[in-house]
Amino acid sequence: MVRRPQSQSAALAHQMDHDDVRDAYRRWAPVYDFTFGKVSTAGRRHAVELINSSNGKVLEVGVGTGLSLPEYKSHLEITGIDLAPEMLQKAHERIRSERLTNIAGLHEMDAGDLQFPDASFDTVVAMYVITVVPEPEKVMRELARVCKPGGQVMLVNHFSQEEGVRGWVERKMAPFADLVGWHSVFEMSRVMGCDNLKLVERKSLRPWGIFTMMRFRKQADVVHHPLAAE
């Protein structure tokens, strides 16, 4: 597929969006582990537990301060990416302090433009990421692209709901999304647009069902053989 060049104004808006994300997580980095890191513990551990039952190479998109890294079993080879250098610095410190030996590398990288070849990883996981990126549909396509056919793509994320008290609160919080670095109103349909990803599991997670784990299986490429001439 040939990528068409962006217009100057579109490219500038895209860069500003990413600068906003970097700035938000630069502010979060010093306190992340003791704030949102605590809230996200249950969902993160649930995802890693599932991944630990598999084999091969794992890409964690939005690795942040590396809270999940010590929980991966040693038989897995882990690569992490994040857009915020301050978060990655914390992750490198965690690798050293925990003496982790199965980390293949950490990279400063845009989740919407992954610098890996197609079909590089057996598992691709993005935890608490998809609602903070400027173009979630593009990120989903990239997650699918770098996953091997037959491999799995996993999300742990907040998805909004229309009804009830929670829906009302989410809509009221929407104008403040830039301040906290995520979007309170985010529909699940926005991650369902990849034809080669089949949803095989969806589960509400603690605390209070705010977060959802979604596990997709990447479909193997279908080879169409021409009918034999009669």
Residue 34 included in any domain: yes
pLDDT at 162: 54
In a domain, 1, yes or no: no
Beta-carbon contacts of 118 under 8 Å, excluding residues fewer than 6 positions away, are 145, 146
Number of domains in the chain: 1
Q: Which domain holds residue 38?
A: 9-218
Residue 172 lies in a domain: yes
Report the pLDDT value the prediction gives residue 15, as an integer from 0 to 100. Answer: 43
Whole-model pTM: value is 0.76
Sheet holding 103-108, edge to edge: 103-108, 77-82, 57-61, 121-127, 147-158, 211-218, 197-205
- Kindly report, residue by residue over 95-144, the tens digit of the pLDDT: 999 999 999 999 999 999 999 999 999 999 999 889 888 899 999 999 99
- Structural domain includes residue 155: yes
Summarised one tens digit per residue, pLDDT across range 17-31 is 666 656 655 555 555
Whether the pLDDT of residue 1 is over 50: the answer is: no
Give the pLDDT band of residue 158 (cuts 50, 70, 90): confident
Angle at 91 between CA 86 and CA 94, to 5 degrees: 135
We report the CATH number of the domain holding residue 57 as: 3.40.50.150
Would 3 be classed as within a structural domain?
Answer: no
Say if 196 falls within a structural domain: yes
